[in-house]
Amino acid sequence: MTGLTKRQREIVDFIETYVAQKRCSPSYRDIQDFFGFSSLGSVYNHIQTLKRKGILSEFSKGARSLALLCDVSTPRLPLIGKLKGGFPIETFAQPLMIPFPSAPNEECYLLSVEGDNLLEECLQPNDLVLVVPRTKFEEGEMVIALIEKQTTLVKRAFSDSPYIRFESTNPQVHPLVLREDHIQIQGVILTVLRNLSAN
Asked whether the beta carbons of 131 and 82 are under 8 A apart, the reply is no
Which amino acid makes up residue 20?
A
Per CATH, is 6-68 categorized as 1.10.10.10? yes
Phi and psi at residue 41, to the nearest 5°? -60, -35
Find out whether 93 and 80 touch, Cβ atoms under 8 Å: no
User: How much is the pLDDT for 72?
Assistant: 58
d(CA 137, CA 159): 9
pTM, two decimal places: 0.65
Measured CA to CA, the distance from residue 29 to residue 46 in angstroms comes to 13
The residues pairing with 58 across neighbouring beta strands, listed in sequence order, are 66
Could you state, in order of their start, the residue ranges of all structural domains in the chain? 6-68, 76-198
Confidence of residue 198 (pLDDT cuts 50, 70, 90): very low
Summarize pLDDT for 10-67 with one digit per residue, the tens.
888 888 778 766 778 889 999 999 999 999 999 999 999 988 887 887 765 666 778 7
Contact 180, 164 (CB under 8 A): yes
Q: What is the CATH number of domain 76-198?
A: 2.10.109.10
Residues 96-140 pLDDT 10s:
767 676 777 778 999 999 988 899 899 999 888 999 999 999 999
What SS3 state is found at 168? coil
Contact 24, 99 (CB under 8 A): no
Check residues 144 and 75 and name the one with the higher pLDDT.
144
What is the C-alpha separation between 16 and 69, in angstroms, rounded? 11
CA–CA gap between residue 163 and residue 195 (Å, rounded): 34
Count Cβ atoms within 10 A of the Cβ of residue 23 and give its class: 0-12 exposed, 13-18 middle, 19 or more buried: exposed
Burial 117-148 (b: 16+ CB within 10 A, else e): bbeebebbeebbbbbeeeeebeeebbbbbbee
Q: Which of 141, 147, 149 is nearest to 188 (CA)?
A: 141
